[in-house]
Structure 1
Amino acid sequence: MIFKKEAFLFYFRLFWSLITFQIVTKGILFLAIFPIAKGILQLLLTSSGKSSLSSGDFLPTFLSLQGAGIFILVLVLLVILVAFDINAFIIISALARKGNPNLPLIEMLGISLKSVKNFLKPQGLLILIYVAIIIPLIGIGVTISPMSNFKIPNFITDVIYNNPVYLIAYGTLLLVFTLITLRYFFFFHYCLLEGESIKEALKKSASLMKGHWKAFIKDFLVKIGLKVIGISVLYCFLILGLILILEKLKIGPGLAMFVLLTIAEIISILGLLAVPIVIYSVTDLFYRYNERDGYPLKNKVYKIEGYPKENKQTKKGKAKKLGLFLILASVFMINASISVIYGLFFNEIAKGNHKIALVAHRGGGNLAAENTIAGMRKAIKAGATWTEIDIQRTKDGYYVINHDPTFKRLTGIDKASDEMTLEEIKSLKVKDFFDQERPVQPVATLEQFLKAGQGKIGFYLELKGDTADKKMADDIVKLIKAKKLEKSTALLSLDLNLINYIEKKYPEITTGYLYYFSLGEISDINADILIMEEGEATTLNILKAHEAGKKVVVWTINSSDSINKFVKSDVDAVITDFVLDVKKGMKERDARSDLQIVVDDILN
């Protein structure tokens, strides 16, 4: 019984120390380091003549002196994040394993910052970049917190998954990265705890894993994997049970917001333990495997014996308790205030008449062959508000609808639009890859497309490929004006310079800028519509764009999770291949109970 009590106290102190460290370091990051970094970034952008940087105009800046400054800034942030999110927990885990679970916060911060010196070398920085970018993609190991949800944009993975060659290459690459990660899984431990050089740490990590890979599969991948699954299932049951109880009690939205918001905060705080616990488990395996091999660990860098094992109760302890009480009381009051306001203005806040326009991707999405009039007609019938199409110029100066650099994927002809005349292109037949039993379709001209849809649907016209230039912009604006389609047409491009040209020469024409990453102030981007890749469409970015008087469109919303998320968001429109699925999602959104709306508001 005494042993169980001691064990409980040990882990309680350890977890308390870890949570405290997480909260403090996250506070330092979000209240100090990130704002300072943002200020430096803005200065660098301003000195280059820009206020923002995005996927459509980043290259010249990245190759400039300011680009070098941005790269150095990113590396500095990366080093600090690794110190806080990985290094500190490895060292704290080692200290805790030797009986010291309650290291003072100042000591923990000092240890984390001192640890970065091991990686201030070119090869060390490369490893940190690997940890930040590759680890999130393979899903094994620990990365820095801002990159934990990093993934390849969906518009790229859609291409990969729909091409067998790309898919095999991508899968092979992920497998190679996974094997590399597992081989050097204990690299950080040898660097930080044993003071080994990067080369020696890699060598010893590979040797340790080689001798214990079978045990590692059981001890880490299986056991921790099962624990994660178990905790996830328990979490789902608890949340579902709570929601059912609240539903049965029929409490108002204000009280429901208070209860669920408080529980969400508790879960978020407990969630801060996830990474430290995983690192503690890996550190424990590091010591156990070395002990089995009879290897005497040196603990060169951090002498664990140098830290006291117990903290006596002092006035500081009482001050901490008072501080904790004040923090909890403040959180309670903030939650209560939010909930009262939410309850009083629930209909205005949560049941507003926000309408989301539906944009059929490449004509009609999956309703017919892409970028065809048949697809657009089906999109109109399905209730789409807009159709998005891709425009290219032919060899003899006409404009046709096609997405890819060549016609090969859709028609089998490996030629670009500007290598063929309009007559040659008219003979091509577009296959329907959504349903190969449906008939092939002709390649449409822009004029045919506009004529078939005028008065029935709006047009998002993307200026596409190598022929997307100022001449294309001039010609299409002329056509739009001739057909009096200014109010039902928007010109889109991934090229910000082309958008700037249209904005300057034709301010009366609606423009839409497509992009998948940005730095700086997106509100300063010179376009009427910001068309964000879904990873870029955060609540904050949507709010910033709206405050600047711009509309927000998200592309390309195809997965059930994405549809469920964005039909409940504040975006102005979504671009999708699955028009009917999005329509269904909108109906389900409108049929939600008050409690379901509260849950969605908290989750979003």
Structure 2
Amino acid sequence: MWWKKKQNNKVTLLAYREGIWELLIYQFVTKLLLAVCVWGMKQLAGLLLWRAGRPAITSGDIPYLFRSWEGWTLAAIGIVVLILYISFEIHIMILMSDNILNQRKKKFLGMAWEALSKLRYYLHPMGVLVILYVSFLGPLVGSKLGISLTSTFKIPDFILSFILSKMWLKLLYYGLLAVLFCAGILYIFTFHFMVLGNRRVTLAMKESRRFVLKEKGKLLKAAGKLIVSGTLWLGAGFVIVFLILLEVAGSEQMELFWRRFVMIESVAGLGAVLALAGILFPIVFFLTMTMLYQEHVSPEIAFQVPEKKKKRKWILIPIVVGAAGITAMSVLSAVFFDEFFPKSSTVELIGHRGAGTYSSENTVESIEAAAQLKLFATEIDVQRTKDGQYILNHDNDFMRLCQDDRTPQEMTLEEIKELRIRNTGKGKNKEPQEVATLEEVLDAAKGKIRLYIELKGKTADKRMAEEVYQLVKEKEMLSQCTFICLNYPLINYLESRHPDADTGYLCFYSFGDLEEMNCDRLLLEMETATESNVEKIHEAGKKVDVWTINSGEKLQQYLLRSVDGIITDEVKEGVNTRKFLNEREDLGRVLGMLAEWF
């Protein structure tokens, strides 16, 4: 096997360490090239958006993409970028691995052209499916072997929370993940058969499946060796750093500066090792997979031990520079400890649909519960009734909450007031609640808690915007309310017509200059709330809220970020998490930053 040196000249990957350095350099260069290509594509897309009179494309603009040539062109640009990433991050990695293992001495430009020539295989329905899997479906099952552009792609948290709340949806979801995972294993050699074997995509998939099923024992053993060795090395690093941190954290003889310095240096060093492991893993993976593939298709060919080259002392330069950089950063962080590792969170908590799962949904009781928990604000959903009144309800109808399948638009306020909402909240109040009117909620919230009023459903139009704005103004609560909506033209209308209104646009999956959108704040889903986006929005004088975050891990992560607010269903957990963060000692603050990085 590949991990043992045998009489038949099969060698370990360590013998190809020169090639590993070549692949590292290649990855650095191609990442720069891809960054330049993506930058160019973004400029072109920006010109298209400018021509269409739009600062950005967001989740609310899907219909626009399908009814304009600019939208189709933007979609085509996105596909081109995905194809470039597949070519440079998968095809060439396979070709370079083959080049290193077989000492072929091919030139990079030749391999690049060869990699691009393989793209013709994707002009097939199954080829499109392969692109979709590597780009979007693979990341859903935790695969890090796709393309880096979409490695963080995931189902939005608010959708996942809904899926996991229904047993049949949860089973369907986990069943789908299992199918996707198994498909990824069965067809893991598809790219090798396409790139090295010149097979069409359907035949490549068939041969990959046949190979995996036939050699499953060998492949499992190889995967086990790779995982165990990696886990042992990283585990040893974690143990060493953990022991150092325990020793330092409990030391009273060490000065505060040096104690903080050693903690930061240890954690940063571990972070550097983890980062290096993340860089090396794809390289080792592609070399291993290419070796296994070639042992399968050409068992008669033995890999030759590469000629030993003169030691390259320059390799020590990046190691020394990296170590010096970590030390300098550790000194600076220890001096300005509170700035680098803030003790308290300034991010505000916003209850979803009242006080989230702590109370009934969208009721006066939920507003009062949110105020008692001392939340910064609460988000509510407003719809118009048949007789022109405004009530709170999230869904299109009342079936989920009141077992009535009628919609607000089909009922008068008098009819709606006869309904009762089941109170399944985690708080003390379990009594059924009335459907609340907007006026009742404004009265309950005045002087106690801020309201994020979402203009919701089929009645979210200019009439609603005007009438809700006037009602809030009459209550003298403009400074205490924010008007939000998934419909950007409606928010644009409200902001333009009434500059004294605080407005917010709800969106997820965006592209473009979000900071140029005509509103006072952006309410972004987690994947869109990147540090760069948040920074640009803040520089434009606007605020950023993130929705809807429910897991403890994500709550802690975003409470330590530079966003302004978090909308959550788990308000009680949010309050407790913020309290925990504010009470941490130095070690907890340093470890929290490591968790934030990785």
TM-score interval, smaller chain: 0.7 to 0.9
CA contact (8 A) 1:18 1:273 kept: no
One-letter identity of the residue aligned with 1:197? R
- Confirm whether residue 274 of structure 1 aligns to residue 281 of structure 2: yes
Q: CA deviation at 1:69?
A: 2.4
Q: CA deviation at 1:218?
A: 3.3
C-alpha distance 171-326 of structure 1, shift in aligned 2 (>3 A):
closer
Rounded to whole Å, the distance in 2 between the matches of 1:425 and 1:514 is 28
- Confirm whether residue 25 of structure 1 aligns to residue 30 of structure 2: yes
Q: Which residue of 1 aligns with 2:116?
A: 116
CA contact (8 A) 2:248 2:259 kept: no
CA contact (8 A) 2:343 2:581 kept: no
Could you tell me which of 377, 384, 388 is aligned with 2:379?
388
Q: CA deviation at 1:590?
A: 1.6
What SS does the aligned partner of 1:57 have?
helix
CA contact (8 A) 2:506 2:523 kept: yes
Rounded to whole Å, the distance in 2 between the matches of 1:309 and 1:227 is 24
Q: Which residue of 2 aligns with 1:421?
A: 412
- Confirm whether residue 132 of structure 1 aligns to residue 123 of structure 2: no
- Confirm whether residue 310 of structure 1 aligns to residue 315 of structure 2: no
Q: CA deviation at 1:482?
A: 0.3
Rounded to whole Å, the distance in 2 between the matches of 1:503 and 1:494 is 14
Rounded to whole Å, the distance in 2 between the matches of 1:406 and 1:230 is 55
Rounded to whole Å, the distance in 2 between the matches of 1:151 and 1:203 is 28
CA contact (8 A) 2:241 2:266 kept: no
What SS does the aligned partner of 2:458 have?
helix
- Confirm whether residue 37 of structure 1 aligns to residue 41 of structure 2: yes
C-alpha distance 601-143 of structure 1, shift in aligned 2 (>3 A):
same
CA contact (8 A) 1:80 1:113 kept: no
Rounded to whole Å, the distance in 1 between the matches of 2:546 and 2:328 is 33
Q: CA deviation at 1:197?
A: 2.0
Q: Which residue of 1 aligns with 2:245?
A: 243
Rounded to whole Å, the distance in 1 between the matches of 2:268 and 2:391 is 52
Within 5 A, what are the aligned runs for 1:70-469? 70-98=74-102, 100=103, 107-108=107-108, 110-120=110-120, 121-123=122-124, 124-140=127-143, 142-212=145-215, 214-215=216-217, 218-219=220-221, 230=232, 233-234=235-236, 236-247=238-249, 248=251, 251=258, 253=260, 256-258=263-265, 260-290=267-297, 309-310=306-307, 312-313=309-310, 321-322=313-314, 324=315, 327-328=318-319, 330-331=321-322, 334-335=325-326, 338-351=329-342, 355-434=346-425, 438-469=430-461
One-letter identity of the residue aligned with 1:278? F
Consecutive unaligned residues of structure 1, counting only runs of 5 or more, are 298-303
Rounded to whole Å, the distance in 2 between the matches of 1:20 and 1:418 is 62
Rounded to whole Å, the distance in 2 between the matches of 1:229 and 1:352 is 32
CA contact (8 A) 2:56 2:511 kept: yes
C-alpha distance 229-354 of structure 1, shift in aligned 2 (>3 A):
closer
CA contact (8 A) 2:244 2:266 kept: no
Rounded to whole Å, the distance in 2 between the matches of 1:29 and 1:598 is 33
CA contact (8 A) 1:431 1:441 kept: yes
Instruction: Give a deviation string over 1:261-280, Cα, whole Å, max 9, x none.
Output: 35423431232111222333
Rounded to whole Å, the distance in 2 between the matches of 1:591 and 1:135 is 39
Identity rate of aligned residues, in percent? 31
What SS does the aligned partner of 2:107 have?
helix
Q: CA deviation at 1:503?
A: 0.6
One-letter identity of the residue aligned with 1:16? W
What SS does the aligned partner of 1:441 have?
coil
C-alpha distance 109-489 of structure 1, shift in aligned 2 (>3 A):
farther
C-alpha distance 274-245 of structure 1, shift in aligned 2 (>3 A):
farther
Instruction: Give a deviation string over 1:366-399, Cα, whole Å, max 9, x none.
Output: 2111111112212211111211111111111111
CA contact (8 A) 1:57 1:497 kept: no
One-letter identity of the residue aligned with 1:572? D
Q: CA deviation at 1:96?
A: 4.5
C-alpha distance 347-186 of structure 1, shift in aligned 2 (>3 A):
closer
- Confirm whether residue 550 of structure 1 aligns to residue 534 of structure 2: no
- Confirm whether residue 15 of structure 1 aligns to residue 20 of structure 2: yes
What SS does the aligned partner of 1:177 have?
helix
C-alpha distance 228-479 of structure 1, shift in aligned 2 (>3 A):
farther
One-letter identity of the residue aligned with 1:379? A
Rounded to whole Å, the distance in 1 between the matches of 2:144 and 2:76 is 25
What SS does the aligned partner of 1:428 have?
coil
Larger mean Cα displacement after TM superposition, 333-342 or 493-502? 333-342
One-letter identity of the residue aligned with 1:60? Y
Instruction: Give a deviation string over 1:451-495, Cα, whole Å, max 9, x none.
Output: 112111111111111111111110110001100001110001111
C-alpha distance 311-111 of structure 1, shift in aligned 2 (>3 A):
farther
Q: CA deviation at 1:284?
A: 3.6
C-alpha distance 88-392 of structure 1, shift in aligned 2 (>3 A):
same
Q: CA deviation at 1:108?
A: 4.9
Rounded to whole Å, the distance in 2 between the matches of 1:126 and 1:357 is 42
Rounded to whole Å, the distance in 2 between the matches of 1:273 and 1:56 is 39
C-alpha distance 231-450 of structure 1, shift in aligned 2 (>3 A):
farther
CA contact (8 A) 2:138 2:146 kept: yes
Q: Which residue of 2 aligns with 1:69?
A: 73
Q: CA deviation at 1:505?
A: 0.4
What SS does the aligned partner of 2:546 have?
strand
Within 5 A, what are the aligned runs for 1:472-551? 472-551=464-543
Instruction: Give a deviation string over 1:217-249, Cα, whole Å, max 9, x none.
Output: 733666655556556644543443343344345
C-alpha distance 382-354 of structure 1, shift in aligned 2 (>3 A):
closer
**So what's the TM-score if we normalise by structure 2?**
0.88
Rounded to whole Å, the distance in 2 between the matches of 1:269 and 1:35 is 26
**So what's the TM-score if we normalise by structure 1?**
0.87
Q: CA deviation at 1:422?
A: 0.9
Rounded to whole Å, the distance in 2 between the matches of 1:223 and 1:8 is 12
* RMSD of Structure 2 on Structure 1 (CA): 3.2
Larger mean Cα displacement after TM superposition, 134-143 or 343-352? 343-352
C-alpha distance 207-532 of structure 1, shift in aligned 2 (>3 A):
same
What SS does the aligned partner of 1:403 have?
coil
CA contact (8 A) 1:490 1:510 kept: yes
Larger mean Cα displacement after TM superposition, 166-175 or 345-354? 345-354
C-alpha distance 160-8 of structure 1, shift in aligned 2 (>3 A):
closer
One-letter identity of the residue aligned with 2:556? N
What SS does the aligned partner of 2:349 have?
strand
Rounded to whole Å, the distance in 2 between the matches of 1:114 and 1:290 is 20
- Confirm whether residue 46 of structure 1 aligns to residue 50 of structure 2: yes
Rounded to whole Å, the distance in 2 between the matches of 1:420 and 1:236 is 62
Q: CA deviation at 1:341?
A: 4.2
